A and B are shown apart, each in its own frame.
Chain A
Amino acid sequence: MLTRIAGGRVIDPANGRDGAGDVWMRDGRIIEAPMDARADVTYDAAGKIVMAGAIDIHSHIAGWNVNTARLLLPEHHRAALQRPAATPLALAGWSTFETGCRYATMGFTTVVEPAVSPHYALHAHLELADTPIIDKATLAVLGNDDYLLSLLRAKASGSAIEDYVAWILDMSRSIGVKVVNAGGAAAFKENVRAFSFDDVVPSYGVSSRQIVKALQRAVNNLGVPHPLHVHCNNLGLAGNVETALTTIAAAEGLPLHLAHLQFYGYGKEGERGFSSAAARLAEAVNAAAEVTIDVGQVMFGPTVTISADVLRQFNARDQARPKKWLIFDGDGNGAGIVPYDYRRNDFYNAVQWAVGLELFLLIDNPRQVFFTTDHPNGAPFTTYPDIFALLMSRDLRAKWIADLPPAAMAVTTLASIAREYTLPEIAAMTRAAPARLFGLSDRGHLGPGAVADVAIYEDDADRARMFRVASLVFKDGELVARDGRVTRRSWGRALTVAPQRDRAVDRRMKDYYEERYGLSDEFVKVPAHALGRPQPFEFVPCRS
């Protein structure tokens, strides 16, 4: 079927396009405007904004941790409440079904679940297989696992580490590797309560830095497109900007992605010893072209923090709002689930809100800074439209700032920042750049050959309203949502990589599982047939 989207303002920064024109689609792909052809279907987009489907690079939407959070917080679920609008998470959609539908109606067509413990990979993929419309991908969490730490303790070769990482990626059907508080969870198992970048995991004798560097090299050498995705040590602590700066410096010319940097943008200035250090961080990112970051913006309201940083979550459990929590001493990283309520009148929460926006506005290159709330840790993904609006309007920011504690605003630079994001910059940050960051050459743009994922918005001066409900959304060339209503429910695919490895590692892993657990390693595998969908995976090529 030949489909034409006619006359919209097409904003496609990857192809240098911004102007009125058509977009043509056939068989699920964008095509060149055909000569002398009549479209089977034409959608009038005159006066509207046409962009590629958006890509969310870091959103906790599936897996054991997320599902446990659902079970921990029945009151956050829409159906448990008579007044759904009162709770942001109710709007986030708490089932996999709602997650897919709500992302799609906002014009998002690909979402990365960033924290899958390898033993729970099948579980995560089962949830993703039940998440409609959007495509998805997972990051495998390594860096506190006994096998890797034992390799490092034994001073194993780089290729032994690469084979192991490749095996994990293949078994868990992931698109990349994340390290969460490298070594911190392993140290916590031995009763360590604070862990920084050059601290050493007791029984293994390896530092956080060694773990991060080993994984960074392995991911790079394997040709995995997405650089190592790092959740740094010391999340949330006053003065932790030093940890982030140290980690940025440790990139040493190789690609490195730092997740939810907002949570590391804290200095120790001011009366309360807590201040924004976003300007220093942004300066460091601007000077390190090999480093990318995502923000993890905080918005006000009740939410739940879900993290594989078990040490941090353990230390934060007394701050739970409401007072309940679950700390999971799991294999490798484990996890912690701690509900939280970011309050407008809370000094610390207001500083956190400002730090996120400062990072967005002070990092110059929209291809280096990525749009996330670390859903649901900073805020549910349903708040994205409000954040786009804040980025695009200094006046709107001024209105918010006027309502927040002056003492908090005094320890940030936000009020002084004039920058306003343009629509092409929003498109670059949420479409073109994420596709490039994950090696998805046929996504995030509207050039011929691209997957026909397209979002069309009203050009509404109220940018929050505009981005909340896309006028039309196409997935693989099919209309899936119109004005906030799902019109067609497809199931999407999980994007994954399969880098080359020396198959001798398969035998080693089999022996390792037999030896350590007395179990076959079969339980770690994610076979396609187990997911109950016709083609659950799409393979993304590695660099050769």
Chain B
Amino acid sequence: MERARIAGSPVALEAAIAEAARLVAASKQALIAGLGTDVAGARAAIALARRTGAVIDHMHAESLLRALDVVRSSGVMLTTPTEVDVGADTLLLAGPILQVGQFQQHIFAPTHRDHGAIERRIFWLCPGTDAAKAPSRRSAIRPIGRTPRELPALLAALRARVAGRPVGRAAVSAKLLEETARDLKASRFGVAIWSAAELDALTVEMLCGLVDDLNATTRFSALPLLPADNLLGALQVCGWLTGFPMRTGFGRLDPHHDPWLFDGRRLVDSGEADCVIWISAYRAAAPPWRRAPPTIALTADAAGFESPPRVHIAVGTPAVDHGAVHHLPLTGTLAAVAASQPSNMISVADAISRIAAALPDDGARRC
């Protein structure tokens, strides 16, 4: 398999590294995007951004920042997948969730385990077309409302009934609303689950408010499902190295965070970014934009690209080709995972470190 290409033609890895370094050194505003990589790769990417004044973004930053927006402006209760697994007797699903592949079997598991097995009750608000696709035991799932469009108003009505306030017409019958409010309050440990890619910030805030209100008399918590590509791992690394999530730039030496200013797509569309390092090591995702400045792609292969990137370095898949630390959706933690099929494919961290080492010294900025 070809390991490296320049403008679509196979080259030695060294030549690709050198060309990548030349592109980065010649750029006025580099963008490091995609960021589908393990902790070591994210560390290396942020170190390179700090050194070159680049911007850091992630391919799923949109969903993430929507979820974070609620955390940064109101109160939220959160729990872990493992706590859901062993403790939740009630689940409140909000909107479609089946797009998020991970953790499904745990959500739809028949029982929870601590202190004796109890049948788990599942309420699903506005599942949309997911309702027909739920994996198993459809009878144990109670759908409430239909299309996701109805969800904000339904949540508001439900929250009002949980708090004992009157409501007018809702998307479902007053009786169903009443029963649902009563059943949620009767749960022992309930968890609200939604897909961060599906719900807008105000809907999430309403849902989090409902969870908080339920805690007046019982225990309830929440678990947003986030896209993969080590999104949460990259978030954590960004957090400890910069204090901020992704969409952070180093143009002013200190990291600055601005979800609009440092949106990778905006930087590319506006022509502000004149060099892109696109990272997608878990799968060969291509960037979501069409016309791009010179791009250095660190992906499994460049198949998805409309035209070949200026530089392509084929990288190994974390935890497959090489050992990796990344976020495990089943535990909600960062964990060290051994390579399942060790190979000599280069890792993102190595590739970036070699590009950084090949930068001319005068390209290095004070930090």
With A67-B240, A122-B334 already in contact, the answer to whether A324 and B73 are too (CB < 8 A) is: yes
**A77 at interface by CB-CB < 8 Å:** yes
Residue numbers in B under 8 Å from A188 (CB-CB): 219
With contacts A74-B257, A119-B331, A328-B78 taken as known, whether A516 is within 8 angstroms of B86 at the C-beta atoms is: yes
The answer to whether A74 and B72 have CB atoms under 8 Å apart is yes
Distance between Cα atoms of A327 and B79 in the complex (Å): 8
| Cβ proximity bits A71-111 to B, threshold 8 Å, 1 near / 0 not | 11110011110000000000000111100000000000000
Q: Kindly identify which residue among A71, A191, A519 contacts B71, using a CB–CB cutoff of 8 Å.
A: A71
Known: A71-B68, A95-B243. A122 touches B335 (CB 8 A): yes
A287 at the interface (CB under 8 A from B): no
Question: Which residues of B, 114-156, contact A by the 8 Å Cβ criterion?
Answer: 114-115
Are B254 and A130 neighbours in the complex by a CB distance under 8 Å? no
B300 on interface, CB distance cutoff 8 Å: no
Shortest C-beta distance, A20 to chain B (Å), equals: 39
Of A146, A190, A323, A327, which is within 8 A of B77 by CB?
A: A327
User: Contacts A71-B68, A122-B325, A523-B333 given: A330-B79 contact, CB under 8 Å?
Assistant: yes
* Cβ–Cβ < 8 Å partners of A79 in chain B: 243-244, 252, 254-257
Residues 502-533 of A at the B interface (beta carbon under 8 Å): 516-519, 522-523, 525-527, 529-530, 532
CA distance A18 to B241 in the complex (A): 40
* Cβ of A347 under 8 Å from chain B: no
Asked whether B245 lies within 8 Å of A71 as measured between CB atoms, the reply is: yes
Residue of B nearest to A191 (CB): B219
A337 → B minimal CB distance (Å): 9
Q: How many residues of B contact A (CB 8 A)?
A: 53
Distance, CA A97 to CA B215, complexed state (A): 38
A527 touches B243 (CB 8 A): no
A62 interface residue per 8 A CB criterion: yes
Q: Is A127 an interface residue when CB atoms closer than 8 A count as contact?
A: yes
Q: Is A280 in contact with chain B by the CB < 8 A criterion? A: no
Cβ contacts under 8 Å, A94 to chain B: 243
Q: Is A203 an interface residue (CB 8 A)?
A: yes
Q: Which residues of A contact B336 (CB under 8 A)?
A: 122, 522-523, 525-527, 529-530
A95 touches B240 (CB 8 A): yes
- Residues facing B in A164-188 (CB within 8 A) are 188
Residues of A with C-beta under 8 A to B333: 64, 119-120, 122-123, 523
Are A324 and B72 touching (Cβ within 8 A)? yes
For A56-74 the 0/1 string (1 means CB < 8 A from B) is: 0000001010011011111
- B79 and A67 within 8 A (CB): no
Chain A residues with CB under 8 A of B73: 324
Residue ID in chain B nearest A75 by CB atoms: B72
Q: A328-B79, A331-B83, A517-B85 are in contact. Are A146 and B43 (CB under 8 A)?
A: no
* With A320-B75, A517-B85, A532-B43 as contacts: A203 and B115 at CB distance below 8 Å: yes
Q: Which of A71, A203, A522 has the most CB of B within 10 A?
A: A71
- Verify if B74 is at the interface (C-beta below 8 Å from A): yes
Q: Collect the chain A residues with CB atoms within 8 Å of residue B254's CB.
A: 78-79
Does B239 count as interface, using CB distance less than 8 angstroms? yes
Q: Which residue of A lies closest to B222 (CB)?
A: A329
CB-based contact A191/B331 at 8 Å: no
Query: A317 to B337, alpha carbons, bound, how many Å?
Result: 37
How far does the alpha carbon of A126 sit from the alpha carbon of B237 in the complex, in Å? 9
Q: Mark A186-224, 1 if CB is under 8 A from B, else 0.
A: 001111000000000001000000000000000000000
Which parts of B6-62 form the interface with A (CB within 8 Å)? Answer: 39-40, 43
A66 — nearest CB in chain B belongs to which residue? Answer: B240
CB-contacts of A105-146 with B (<8 A): 119-120, 122-123, 126-127, 130, 146
Contact A326 B240 (CB under 8 A): no
Asked if A24 is at the interface (CB within 8 A of a chain B CB), the reply is no
1/0 per residue, CB under 8 A from A, across B70-96: the answer is 011111111110110111000000000
Find B325's partner among A97, A126, A323, A519 (CB 8 Å cutoff). A126
* A62-B240 in contact (CB<8A): yes
Given contacts A74-B72, A79-B254, A523-B335, contact A530 B241 (CB under 8 A): no
- Residues on the A chain within 8 Å of B77, using CB: 326-329
Q: Mark A291-330, 1 if CB is under 8 A from B, else 0.
A: 0000000000000000000000010010010011111111
Asked if A95 and B335 make an inter-chain contact with CB atoms under 8 angstroms apart, the answer reads: no
CA of A331 to CA of B43, assembled, Å: 27
Nearest A residue to B68, CB-CB: A71
Q: Is B189 an interface residue (CB 8 A)?
A: yes
Residues of B within 8 A of A130 (CB): 43, 240-241
Q: Point out the residue from A74, A127, A326, A523 that lies within 8 Å of B76, measured CB to CB.
A: A326
Interface pairs (15), CB distance under 8 Å: A70-B244, A72-B71, A95-B242, A120-B334, A189-B87, A191-B219, A203-B114, A324-B73, A324-B74, A325-B75, A326-B75, A327-B78, A334-B79, A523-B333, A523-B336
Name 17 extra pairs, CB < 8 A, besides A324-B74, A516-B113: A71-B68, A73-B72, A79-B256, A119-B82, A119-B333, A122-B333, A190-B219, A191-B219, A317-B75, A324-B73, A326-B78, A329-B221, A331-B82, A517-B85, A517-B86, A526-B336, A527-B336
